[in-house]
Amino acid sequence: MARNCAVILAGGEGTRMHSQKPKVMAEILFRPMIDRVLGAVNKAGIYDICVVTGYKAEILEAHLEGRAATVRQAQRLGTGHAVMQAADYIREGGFDNVLILNGDAPFIDAFTITDALKYHTNNRFVQTVISAKIDDPYGYGRIIRNKSYNFVAIVEEASADAETKRINEINSGAMWFQADTLLRLLGQIRNDNSKGEYYLTDTVSIAVKENLPVGAFTAENANAVLGANTRVQLNELNELLRMKTIRRHMEAGVSIPCTDGVLIDDDAEIGADTVILPGTILKADCRIGENCVIGPNTVLYKTTVGDNCVLNQVQAEEATVKNDANLGPFVHLRPGTVIGDSVHCGNFVEVKNSVIGEHTSVSHLTYVGDSDVGSGVNFGCGVVTVNFNGKSKNRCVIGDDAFIGCNTNLIAPVKVGDRAYTAAGSTITEDVPADALAIARQRQQNKERWVVRKKPYRPKKY
Protein backbone atom coordinates (compact mmCIF):
# COMPACT_ATOMS: atom_id res chain seq x y z
CA MET A 1 0.00 0.00 0.00
CA ALA A 2 1.22 3.42 -0.96
CA ARG A 3 1.82 5.89 1.87
CA ASN A 4 0.10 9.20 1.31
CA CYS A 5 0.09 12.46 3.21
CA ALA A 6 -1.63 15.80 2.85
CA VAL A 7 -0.19 19.30 3.08
CA ILE A 8 -2.79 22.01 3.68
CA LEU A 9 -1.85 25.60 2.86
CA ALA A 10 -3.21 27.95 5.49
CA GLY A 11 -0.58 30.64 5.95
CA GLY A 12 -2.30 33.45 4.08
CA GLU A 13 -3.46 36.54 5.87
CA GLY A 14 -6.79 36.73 4.09
CA THR A 15 -6.48 40.51 4.01
CA ARG A 16 -9.95 40.93 2.56
CA MET A 17 -11.58 39.22 5.54
CA HIS A 18 -10.37 42.04 7.85
CA SER A 19 -10.02 39.56 10.69
CA GLN A 20 -7.82 39.04 13.72
CA LYS A 21 -8.00 35.31 12.97
CA PRO A 22 -6.36 33.29 10.18
CA LYS A 23 -8.66 33.17 7.17
CA VAL A 24 -9.10 29.39 7.35
CA MET A 25 -10.71 29.80 10.80
CA ALA A 26 -13.67 31.58 9.19
CA GLU A 27 -16.75 29.40 9.55
CA ILE A 28 -19.07 27.87 6.99
CA LEU A 29 -22.21 26.66 8.79
CA PHE A 30 -20.58 26.74 12.23
CA ARG A 31 -17.35 24.98 11.24
CA PRO A 32 -14.02 26.61 10.44
CA MET A 33 -13.06 26.07 6.80
CA ILE A 34 -9.86 24.29 7.91
CA ASP A 35 -11.94 21.72 9.84
CA ARG A 36 -14.00 20.99 6.76
CA VAL A 37 -10.82 20.43 4.73
CA LEU A 38 -9.34 18.22 7.47
CA GLY A 39 -12.61 16.26 7.65
CA ALA A 40 -12.52 15.52 3.90
CA VAL A 41 -8.87 14.43 4.12
CA ASN A 42 -9.58 12.10 7.06
CA LYS A 43 -12.64 10.71 5.29
CA ALA A 44 -10.39 9.88 2.33
CA GLY A 45 -8.31 7.80 4.76
CA ILE A 46 -5.38 10.20 5.11
CA TYR A 47 -4.21 10.93 8.64
CA ASP A 48 -0.67 12.15 7.99
CA ILE A 49 -1.38 15.84 7.60
CA CYS A 50 0.87 18.88 7.75
CA VAL A 51 -0.71 22.33 7.87
CA VAL A 52 1.40 25.30 6.74
CA THR A 53 0.59 28.20 9.04
CA GLY A 54 1.68 31.83 8.85
CA TYR A 55 -0.62 34.73 9.76
CA LYS A 56 -1.67 34.33 13.43
CA ALA A 57 0.02 30.91 13.43
CA GLU A 58 -0.44 30.40 17.17
CA ILE A 59 -4.26 30.50 16.85
CA LEU A 60 -4.21 27.81 14.19
CA GLU A 61 -1.64 25.68 16.03
CA ALA A 62 -3.79 25.70 19.17
CA HIS A 63 -6.90 24.91 17.15
CA LEU A 64 -5.29 21.98 15.32
CA GLU A 65 -3.58 20.50 18.41
CA GLY A 66 -3.26 16.75 17.94
CA ARG A 67 -5.13 16.64 14.64
CA ALA A 68 -2.34 17.69 12.30
CA ALA A 69 1.34 18.57 12.31
CA THR A 70 2.10 22.21 11.60
CA VAL A 71 5.01 24.13 10.09
CA ARG A 72 5.34 27.88 10.09
CA GLN A 73 5.93 29.94 6.99
CA ALA A 74 7.60 33.05 8.38
CA GLN A 75 6.99 35.16 5.28
CA ARG A 76 4.21 34.70 2.75
CA LEU A 77 6.17 34.29 -0.47
CA GLY A 78 3.58 32.27 -2.40
CA THR A 79 1.98 28.84 -2.54
CA GLY A 80 5.18 27.18 -3.83
CA HIS A 81 7.14 28.69 -0.95
CA ALA A 82 4.45 27.49 1.46
CA VAL A 83 4.84 23.89 0.28
CA MET A 84 8.65 24.21 0.59
CA GLN A 85 8.13 24.67 4.34
CA ALA A 86 6.68 21.15 4.48
CA ALA A 87 9.60 19.61 2.54
CA ASP A 88 11.20 18.08 5.66
CA TYR A 89 7.85 16.70 6.78
CA ILE A 90 7.40 15.00 3.38
CA ARG A 91 11.00 13.75 3.16
CA GLU A 92 11.18 12.40 6.69
CA GLY A 93 7.80 10.70 6.44
CA GLY A 94 8.94 8.64 3.45
CA PHE A 95 5.63 9.17 1.65
CA ASP A 96 4.83 8.00 -1.88
CA ASN A 97 2.24 10.63 -2.77
CA VAL A 98 1.46 14.07 -1.41
CA LEU A 99 -1.93 15.76 -1.61
CA ILE A 100 -1.74 19.56 -1.56
CA LEU A 101 -4.91 21.42 -0.56
CA ASN A 102 -5.88 25.04 0.00
CA GLY A 103 -7.21 25.60 3.50
CA ASP A 104 -9.69 28.17 2.19
CA ALA A 105 -11.58 25.78 -0.14
CA PRO A 106 -13.93 24.09 2.34
CA PHE A 107 -16.04 22.03 -0.05
CA ILE A 108 -13.32 19.64 -1.17
CA ASP A 109 -14.70 16.16 -0.57
CA ALA A 110 -13.35 12.66 0.00
CA PHE A 111 -14.67 11.29 -3.31
CA THR A 112 -12.90 13.93 -5.34
CA ILE A 113 -9.68 13.28 -3.39
CA THR A 114 -9.77 9.50 -3.83
CA ASP A 115 -10.98 9.56 -7.45
CA ALA A 116 -8.18 11.97 -8.30
CA LEU A 117 -5.66 9.68 -6.57
CA LYS A 118 -6.83 6.70 -8.64
CA TYR A 119 -6.48 8.77 -11.81
CA HIS A 120 -3.03 9.88 -10.61
CA THR A 121 -1.69 6.39 -9.84
CA ASN A 122 -3.38 4.53 -12.72
CA ASN A 123 -1.82 6.95 -15.20
CA ARG A 124 1.51 7.07 -13.33
CA PHE A 125 1.41 10.86 -13.36
CA VAL A 126 4.00 12.76 -11.34
CA GLN A 127 1.40 15.48 -10.71
CA THR A 128 -2.39 15.45 -10.97
CA VAL A 129 -4.19 18.75 -10.60
CA ILE A 130 -7.84 18.69 -9.60
CA SER A 131 -9.56 21.07 -11.99
CA ALA A 132 -13.13 22.21 -12.47
CA LYS A 133 -15.15 23.93 -15.14
CA ILE A 134 -16.89 26.95 -13.72
CA ASP A 135 -18.97 29.81 -15.15
CA ASP A 136 -16.87 32.62 -13.74
CA PRO A 137 -13.18 31.67 -13.73
CA TYR A 138 -12.01 35.15 -12.68
CA GLY A 139 -9.21 35.03 -10.11
CA TYR A 140 -8.34 31.37 -10.56
CA GLY A 141 -5.31 29.83 -12.27
CA ARG A 142 -6.34 28.58 -15.75
CA ILE A 143 -5.69 25.04 -16.99
CA ILE A 144 -3.77 25.23 -20.28
CA ARG A 145 -4.06 22.30 -22.69
CA ASN A 146 -2.25 21.88 -26.01
CA LYS A 147 -3.79 20.96 -29.37
CA SER A 148 -3.90 17.27 -28.36
CA TYR A 149 -5.80 18.31 -25.21
CA ASN A 150 -2.80 17.42 -23.05
CA PHE A 151 -2.45 19.46 -19.87
CA VAL A 152 0.72 21.53 -20.14
CA ALA A 153 0.58 24.48 -17.72
CA ILE A 154 -1.34 26.61 -15.25
CA VAL A 155 -1.43 30.35 -15.85
CA GLU A 156 -2.40 32.62 -12.98
CA GLU A 157 -4.95 35.40 -13.46
CA ALA A 158 -2.27 38.07 -13.03
CA SER A 159 -0.19 36.58 -15.86
CA ALA A 160 -3.05 35.64 -18.20
CA ASP A 161 -3.64 37.28 -21.59
CA ALA A 162 -7.16 37.97 -22.88
CA GLU A 163 -7.43 34.58 -24.61
CA THR A 164 -6.23 32.68 -21.54
CA LYS A 165 -8.68 34.56 -19.36
CA ARG A 166 -11.52 33.09 -21.43
CA ILE A 167 -10.57 29.53 -20.41
CA ASN A 168 -13.09 28.33 -17.86
CA GLU A 169 -11.26 25.21 -16.68
CA ILE A 170 -9.49 26.28 -13.50
CA ASN A 171 -7.02 24.99 -10.94
CA SER A 172 -8.82 24.13 -7.71
CA GLY A 173 -5.53 24.41 -5.83
CA ALA A 174 -5.88 20.73 -4.87
CA MET A 175 -3.32 18.42 -6.43
CA TRP A 176 -1.60 15.09 -6.02
CA PHE A 177 2.18 14.75 -6.47
CA GLN A 178 4.60 11.90 -6.47
CA ALA A 179 6.53 12.85 -3.35
CA ASP A 180 10.08 12.61 -4.76
CA THR A 181 9.19 14.58 -7.86
CA LEU A 182 7.43 17.27 -5.83
CA LEU A 183 10.53 17.79 -3.71
CA ARG A 184 12.66 18.08 -6.81
CA LEU A 185 10.27 20.42 -8.69
CA LEU A 186 9.95 22.74 -5.66
CA GLY A 187 13.64 23.50 -5.98
CA GLN A 188 13.15 24.74 -9.53
CA ILE A 189 10.31 27.24 -8.98
CA ARG A 190 11.32 30.90 -9.59
CA ASN A 191 9.56 34.04 -8.43
CA ASP A 192 9.99 35.88 -11.76
CA ASN A 193 6.33 36.86 -12.13
CA SER A 194 4.47 40.15 -11.63
CA LYS A 195 3.73 39.35 -7.98
CA GLY A 196 7.26 38.16 -7.17
CA GLU A 197 5.80 35.00 -5.59
CA TYR A 198 6.85 31.37 -5.77
CA TYR A 199 3.82 29.85 -7.51
CA LEU A 200 3.21 26.16 -6.81
CA THR A 201 1.36 26.10 -10.11
CA ASP A 202 4.64 26.58 -12.02
CA THR A 203 5.50 22.94 -11.22
CA VAL A 204 3.26 21.87 -14.12
CA SER A 205 5.23 23.57 -16.90
CA ILE A 206 8.53 22.57 -15.26
CA ALA A 207 7.45 18.90 -15.23
CA VAL A 208 6.20 19.14 -18.82
CA LYS A 209 9.57 20.58 -19.91
CA GLU A 210 11.23 17.52 -18.38
CA ASN A 211 8.81 15.29 -20.32
CA LEU A 212 7.25 14.03 -17.11
CA PRO A 213 3.62 12.93 -17.32
CA VAL A 214 1.13 15.29 -15.62
CA GLY A 215 -2.66 15.19 -15.56
CA ALA A 216 -5.67 17.35 -14.81
CA PHE A 217 -8.54 15.55 -13.12
CA THR A 218 -11.81 17.40 -13.68
CA ALA A 219 -13.92 17.23 -10.53
CA GLU A 220 -17.56 16.27 -11.03
CA ASN A 221 -18.46 18.35 -8.02
CA ALA A 222 -17.63 21.84 -9.28
CA ASN A 223 -18.39 23.25 -5.82
CA ALA A 224 -15.42 21.25 -4.50
CA VAL A 225 -13.17 24.02 -5.77
CA LEU A 226 -14.97 27.05 -4.41
CA GLY A 227 -13.02 29.22 -2.05
CA ALA A 228 -13.82 32.18 0.16
CA ASN A 229 -11.57 35.23 0.19
CA THR A 230 -14.17 37.75 1.45
CA ARG A 231 -17.09 37.80 3.88
CA VAL A 232 -19.42 38.08 0.91
CA GLN A 233 -18.01 34.86 -0.56
CA LEU A 234 -18.21 33.30 2.90
CA ASN A 235 -21.91 34.10 2.95
CA GLU A 236 -22.31 32.62 -0.55
CA LEU A 237 -20.64 29.36 0.51
CA ASN A 238 -22.74 29.29 3.69
CA GLU A 239 -25.88 29.72 1.62
CA LEU A 240 -24.88 26.92 -0.76
CA LEU A 241 -24.27 24.48 2.07
CA ARG A 242 -27.28 25.69 4.08
CA MET A 243 -29.69 25.08 1.20
CA LYS A 244 -28.03 21.78 0.27
CA THR A 245 -28.50 20.53 3.84
CA ILE A 246 -32.09 21.79 4.01
CA ARG A 247 -32.94 20.10 0.70
CA ARG A 248 -31.44 16.82 1.91
CA HIS A 249 -33.71 16.86 4.98
CA MET A 250 -36.77 17.79 2.93
CA GLU A 251 -36.10 14.89 0.60
CA ALA A 252 -35.93 12.59 3.65
CA GLY A 253 -39.37 13.67 4.92
CA VAL A 254 -38.74 16.79 7.02
CA SER A 255 -41.11 19.72 6.44
CA ILE A 256 -39.55 23.16 6.27
CA PRO A 257 -42.36 25.43 5.11
CA CYS A 258 -40.17 28.55 5.20
CA THR A 259 -36.39 28.31 5.21
CA ASP A 260 -35.84 31.84 6.60
CA GLY A 261 -33.32 31.80 9.39
CA VAL A 262 -33.08 28.01 9.34
CA LEU A 263 -29.47 26.89 9.79
CA ILE A 264 -28.86 23.18 10.16
CA ASP A 265 -25.34 21.93 10.80
CA ASP A 266 -24.51 19.25 8.24
CA ASP A 267 -24.28 16.40 10.79
CA ALA A 268 -27.77 16.93 12.29
CA GLU A 269 -30.27 14.07 12.07
CA ILE A 270 -33.98 14.83 11.80
CA GLY A 271 -36.78 12.26 11.65
CA ALA A 272 -39.57 12.16 9.07
CA ASP A 273 -42.72 14.24 9.58
CA THR A 274 -40.87 16.70 11.79
CA VAL A 275 -41.57 20.34 10.99
CA ILE A 276 -38.81 22.91 11.25
CA LEU A 277 -40.10 26.48 11.58
CA PRO A 278 -38.27 29.76 10.81
CA GLY A 279 -35.42 30.88 13.04
CA THR A 280 -34.40 27.35 13.99
CA ILE A 281 -30.65 26.81 14.37
CA LEU A 282 -29.34 23.30 14.92
CA LYS A 283 -25.65 23.35 15.78
CA ALA A 284 -23.18 20.47 16.23
CA ASP A 285 -24.51 16.97 16.84
CA CYS A 286 -28.26 17.43 17.16
CA ARG A 287 -30.60 14.46 16.77
CA ILE A 288 -34.31 15.19 16.38
CA GLY A 289 -36.87 12.38 16.26
CA GLU A 290 -39.99 11.99 14.13
CA ASN A 291 -43.14 14.06 14.12
CA CYS A 292 -41.78 16.97 16.15
CA VAL A 293 -42.39 20.67 15.68
CA ILE A 294 -39.15 22.57 16.22
CA GLY A 295 -39.25 26.36 16.26
CA PRO A 296 -39.89 29.08 15.60
CA ASN A 297 -36.75 30.68 17.03
CA THR A 298 -35.23 27.60 18.58
CA VAL A 299 -31.50 27.10 18.98
CA LEU A 300 -30.20 23.64 19.83
CA TYR A 301 -26.57 22.66 20.40
CA LYS A 302 -25.48 19.04 20.94
CA THR A 303 -29.04 18.20 21.92
CA THR A 304 -31.11 15.07 21.37
CA VAL A 305 -34.88 15.22 21.03
CA GLY A 306 -37.17 12.16 20.82
CA ASP A 307 -40.38 11.72 18.83
CA ASN A 308 -43.56 13.82 18.93
CA CYS A 309 -42.03 16.76 20.78
CA VAL A 310 -42.88 20.44 20.47
CA LEU A 311 -40.04 22.92 21.06
CA ASN A 312 -41.35 26.44 20.66
CA GLN A 313 -38.77 29.20 21.29
CA VAL A 314 -36.38 26.90 23.12
CA GLN A 315 -32.64 27.27 23.66
CA ALA A 316 -30.90 24.04 24.63
CA GLU A 317 -27.27 23.07 25.02
CA GLU A 318 -26.03 19.52 25.62
CA ALA A 319 -29.48 18.40 26.72
CA THR A 320 -31.67 15.36 26.10
CA VAL A 321 -35.40 15.50 25.58
CA LYS A 322 -37.29 12.19 25.46
CA ASN A 323 -40.61 11.62 23.64
CA ASP A 324 -43.86 13.62 23.64
CA ALA A 325 -42.41 16.60 25.51
CA ASN A 326 -43.98 20.00 25.11
CA LEU A 327 -41.48 22.79 25.72
CA GLY A 328 -41.94 26.51 25.41
CA PRO A 329 -42.42 29.23 24.74
CA PHE A 330 -39.17 30.63 26.19
CA VAL A 331 -37.49 27.62 27.75
CA HIS A 332 -33.75 27.28 28.37
CA LEU A 333 -32.24 23.82 28.86
CA ARG A 334 -28.63 23.95 29.97
CA PRO A 335 -25.97 21.20 29.88
CA GLY A 336 -26.70 17.94 31.66
CA THR A 337 -30.48 18.24 31.45
CA VAL A 338 -32.63 15.19 30.73
CA ILE A 339 -36.31 15.90 30.09
CA GLY A 340 -38.46 12.76 30.42
CA ASP A 341 -41.39 11.57 28.33
CA SER A 342 -44.47 13.84 28.19
CA VAL A 343 -42.92 16.58 30.30
CA HIS A 344 -44.20 20.12 29.94
CA CYS A 345 -41.96 23.13 30.52
CA GLY A 346 -43.51 26.51 29.87
CA ASN A 347 -42.85 30.23 29.90
CA PHE A 348 -39.51 31.35 31.29
CA VAL A 349 -38.38 28.04 32.71
CA GLU A 350 -34.68 27.24 33.02
CA VAL A 351 -33.43 23.73 33.72
CA LYS A 352 -29.76 22.99 34.36
CA ASN A 353 -28.00 19.68 35.02
CA SER A 354 -31.22 18.07 36.19
CA VAL A 355 -33.31 15.02 35.41
CA ILE A 356 -37.04 15.64 35.08
CA GLY A 357 -39.24 12.54 35.29
CA GLU A 358 -42.06 11.72 32.89
CA HIS A 359 -45.37 13.60 32.98
CA THR A 360 -43.89 16.30 35.22
CA SER A 361 -45.10 19.83 34.61
CA VAL A 362 -42.94 22.95 35.12
CA SER A 363 -45.21 25.57 33.65
CA HIS A 364 -43.95 29.03 34.48
CA LEU A 365 -41.11 31.15 35.83
CA THR A 366 -39.17 28.36 37.46
CA TYR A 367 -35.49 27.48 37.85
CA VAL A 368 -34.59 23.83 38.32
CA GLY A 369 -30.84 23.38 38.78
CA ASP A 370 -28.81 20.35 39.92
CA SER A 371 -31.96 18.41 40.79
CA ASP A 372 -33.43 14.96 40.42
CA VAL A 373 -37.13 15.31 39.85
CA GLY A 374 -39.48 12.31 39.82
CA SER A 375 -42.46 11.64 37.58
CA GLY A 376 -45.85 13.32 37.76
CA VAL A 377 -44.50 16.27 39.75
CA ASN A 378 -46.26 19.62 39.51
CA PHE A 379 -44.25 22.81 39.93
CA GLY A 380 -46.27 25.90 40.71
CA CYS A 381 -45.29 29.26 39.29
CA GLY A 382 -41.97 30.73 40.40
CA VAL A 383 -40.27 27.79 42.09
CA VAL A 384 -36.54 28.10 42.65
CA THR A 385 -34.11 25.36 43.52
CA VAL A 386 -31.52 27.26 45.50
CA ASN A 387 -28.59 25.16 44.39
CA PHE A 388 -25.67 27.50 45.04
CA ASN A 389 -24.64 28.75 48.47
CA GLY A 390 -21.83 30.94 47.21
CA LYS A 391 -19.23 28.18 47.50
CA SER A 392 -20.64 24.94 46.25
CA LYS A 393 -23.53 23.51 44.26
CA ASN A 394 -25.92 21.06 45.93
CA ARG A 395 -28.72 18.86 44.63
CA CYS A 396 -32.44 18.78 45.34
CA VAL A 397 -34.35 15.51 45.12
CA ILE A 398 -38.09 15.63 44.49
CA GLY A 399 -40.10 12.41 44.65
CA ASP A 400 -42.82 11.15 42.30
CA ASP A 401 -46.14 13.01 42.26
CA ALA A 402 -44.93 15.74 44.60
CA PHE A 403 -46.61 19.14 44.40
CA ILE A 404 -44.33 22.13 44.79
CA GLY A 405 -46.37 25.21 45.63
CA CYS A 406 -45.92 28.56 43.90
CA ASN A 407 -42.87 30.55 44.92
CA THR A 408 -41.30 27.73 46.89
CA ASN A 409 -37.57 28.02 47.50
CA LEU A 410 -35.94 24.63 47.89
CA ILE A 411 -32.63 25.24 49.68
CA ALA A 412 -30.30 22.48 48.49
CA PRO A 413 -29.42 19.90 49.57
CA VAL A 414 -32.99 18.99 50.40
CA LYS A 415 -35.39 16.13 49.62
CA VAL A 416 -39.12 16.30 49.05
CA GLY A 417 -40.71 12.84 49.39
CA ASP A 418 -43.15 11.14 47.05
CA ARG A 419 -46.59 12.79 46.94
CA ALA A 420 -45.49 15.48 49.43
CA TYR A 421 -46.78 19.07 49.12
CA THR A 422 -45.03 22.33 49.87
CA ALA A 423 -47.20 25.32 50.67
CA ALA A 424 -46.95 28.32 48.35
CA GLY A 425 -44.28 30.79 49.41
CA SER A 426 -42.39 28.27 51.55
CA THR A 427 -38.65 28.29 51.94
CA ILE A 428 -37.86 24.63 52.43
CA THR A 429 -34.63 23.97 54.30
CA GLU A 430 -35.37 20.51 55.72
CA ASP A 431 -36.39 17.28 54.04
CA VAL A 432 -40.13 16.75 53.59
CA PRO A 433 -41.33 13.17 54.25
CA ALA A 434 -43.51 11.37 51.72
CA ASP A 435 -47.20 12.30 51.84
CA ALA A 436 -46.52 15.30 54.16
CA LEU A 437 -47.40 18.98 53.68
CA ALA A 438 -44.53 21.34 54.47
CA ILE A 439 -45.38 24.92 55.38
CA ALA A 440 -42.37 27.11 55.98
CA ARG A 441 -43.53 30.67 56.17
CA GLN A 442 -44.69 33.17 58.78
CA ARG A 443 -48.32 32.72 59.82
CA GLN A 444 -50.43 35.68 58.66
CA GLN A 445 -51.58 38.33 61.18
CA ASN A 446 -54.17 41.01 60.25
CA LYS A 447 -53.81 44.22 62.32
CA GLU A 448 -57.30 45.69 62.27
CA ARG A 449 -57.62 49.46 61.40
CA TRP A 450 -53.79 49.78 61.31
CA VAL A 451 -53.89 52.14 58.31
CA VAL A 452 -56.48 54.40 59.89
CA ARG A 453 -54.43 54.68 63.04
CA LYS A 454 -50.98 55.08 61.46
CA LYS A 455 -51.86 57.07 58.34
CA PRO A 456 -48.64 55.80 56.68
CA TYR A 457 -49.31 57.53 53.32
CA ARG A 458 -48.75 61.01 51.85
CA PRO A 459 -51.93 62.92 51.20
CA LYS A 460 -53.05 62.27 47.58
CA LYS A 461 -52.77 65.24 45.19
CA TYR A 462 -55.64 64.30 42.90
**Residues carrying an active site annotation:** 364
Query: x/- site string to ligand UD1, residues 392 to 421, per CB under 6 A?
Result: ------------------------------
Gap between the Cα atoms of 240 and 102, Å rounded? 19
Q: Does 360 bind ligand UD1 (CB under 6 A)?
A: no
Q: Does 76 bind ligand UD1 (CB under 6 A)?
A: yes
> Which part of the chain contacts ligand UD1 (CB under 6 A), choosing from 9-17, 40-48, 275-283, 436-444?
9-17
For ligand UD1, the closer CB: 12 or 369: 12
28-67 residues in contact with ligand UD1 (CB under 6 A) are 52, 54
For ligand UD1, the closer CB: 9 or 398: 9
For Ca ion, the closer CB: 104 or 401: 104
> Which part of the chain contacts ligand UD1 (CB under 6 A), choosing from 98-106, 110-118, 305-313, 400-408?
98-106
Least distance to ligand UD1, CB of residue 201, Å: 5
> Which part of the chain contacts ligand UD1 (CB under 6 A), choosing from 112-120, 170-178, 297-305, 434-442?
170-178
Specify the long-range contacts of residues 441-446, CB closer than 8 Å, at least 24 apart: none
The binder of ligand UD1 chosen from 95, 107, 140, 403 (CB under 6 A): 140
Contact partner at residue 32 from ligand UD1, Ca ion, none, CB < 5 to 8 Å by partner kind: none
The 3-state secondary structure of the chain, one letter per residue: CCCEEEEEEECCCCHHHCCCCCHHHCEECCEEHHHHHHHHHHHCCCCCEEEEEECEHHHHHHHHCCCCEEEECCCCCCHHHHHHCCHHHHHHHCCCEEEEEECCCCCCCHHHHHHHHHHHHHCCCCEEEEEEECCCCCCCCEEEECCCCCEEEEECHHHCCHHHHCCCEEEEEEEEEEHHHHHHHHCCCCCCCCCCCCCHHHHHHHHHHCCCCEEEEECCCHHHHCCCCCHHHHHHHHHHHHHHHHHHHHHCCCECCCCCCCEECCCCEECCCCEECCCCEEECCCEECCCCEECCCCEEECCEECCCCEECCEEEECEEECCCCEECCCEEECCCEEECCCCEECCCEEEECCEECCCCEECCCEEEECEEECCCCEECCCCEEECECCCCECCEEECCCCEECCCCEEECCEEECCCCEECCCCEECCCECCCCEECCCCCCCCCCCHHHHHCCCCCCCC
Least distance to ligand UD1, CB of residue 55, Å: 8
Q: Does 103 bind ligand UD1 (CB under 6 A)?
A: yes
The binder of ligand UD1 chosen from 4, 70, 79, 354 (CB under 6 A): 79
Residues that bind Ca ion (CB under 5 A): 104, 227
For ligand UD1, the closer CB: 102 or 407: 102
The binder of ligand UD1 chosen from 215, 227, 296, 417 (CB under 6 A): 227
Which position's Cβ is nearest ligand UD1? 141
The binder of ligand UD1 chosen from 73, 245, 342, 354 (CB under 6 A): 73
> Which part of the chain contacts ligand UD1 (CB under 6 A), choosing from 159-167, 182-190, 193-201, 438-446?
193-201
Q: Does 102 bind ligand UD1 (CB under 6 A)?
A: yes
Least distance to Ca ion, CB of residue 229, Å: 5
Least distance to ligand UD1, CB of residue 126, Å: 17
For Ca ion, the closer CB: 104 or 156: 104
For ligand UD1, the closer CB: 105 or 321: 105
Which position's Cβ is nearest Ca ion? 227
Gap between the Cα atoms of 371 and 446, Å rounded? 37
- What are the C-alpha distances in Å from 401 to residues 26, 338, 425? 50, 18, 19
Q: Does 10 bind ligand UD1 (CB under 6 A)?
A: yes
Across-strand partners of 169?
133
- What are the C-alpha distances in Å from 296 to residues 86, 151, 338? 49, 52, 22
The binder of ligand UD1 chosen from 105, 185, 281, 414 (CB under 6 A): 105
The footprint of ligand UD1 (CB under 6 A) covers: 9-12, 52, 54, 73, 76-79, 81-82, 102-105, 140-141, 154, 156, 170-173, 199-201, 227
